[in-house]
Amino acid sequence: MIRRVTVPGLFPPPTYAHASVVEAGTRLAFLAGAVPLDEKGEIVGPGDPVRQAEQVIANLREQLGAVGSDLAHVVATDVYVVSGEPSVLSAVWEVVEASGLSAGPHSSTLLGVACLGYTGQLVEITATAVVPEREEHR
């Protein structure tokens, strides 16, 4: 259902694929950005991009579960981090890698940005995932 491609002529990516191919007829979910808000709408981990990344991953899991998917079926992400420091981006990427998203591996872009939508927000992840067929529908 998902074919992950690492292009031999390009630099080998450490924990992601260059491309993901999904067969026609497969259901896809395009998720809004997962943000570091708790169930009350409050920022988790103010000033701490690593803690915010952990909350974003937890919220991403919830989003995926709500549509019948999971981290293993994510085919692409965009990871946004409010920072111009490569070390901060790397610290957030370590959270992404440890989450299981890199097990695919999925295709991803890691970006340092000037700001995000919520006051105090430092991390956001958008994702596209395959929604696997449930066994009873096969």
- Per-residue model confidence as pLDDT tens digits over 80-91: 999 999 999 999
What are the C-alpha distances in Å from 4 to residues 1, 79, 92, 107?
A: 10, 19, 23, 8
For residue range 36-66, list pLDDT tens digits in order. Answer: 999 999 999 999 999 999 999 999 999 999 9
What is the bridge-based pairing of β-strands 123-131 and 2-5?
Answer: unpaired
pTM of the model: 0.85
Q: Give kind and range of the element (H or E) at residue 88.
A: helix 86-99
Give the amino acid at 112.
G
Selection from 13-22, 89-98, 99-108 with the highest mean pLDDT: 89-98
What are the C-alpha distances in Å from 40 to residues 31, 58, 73?
A: 20, 15, 28
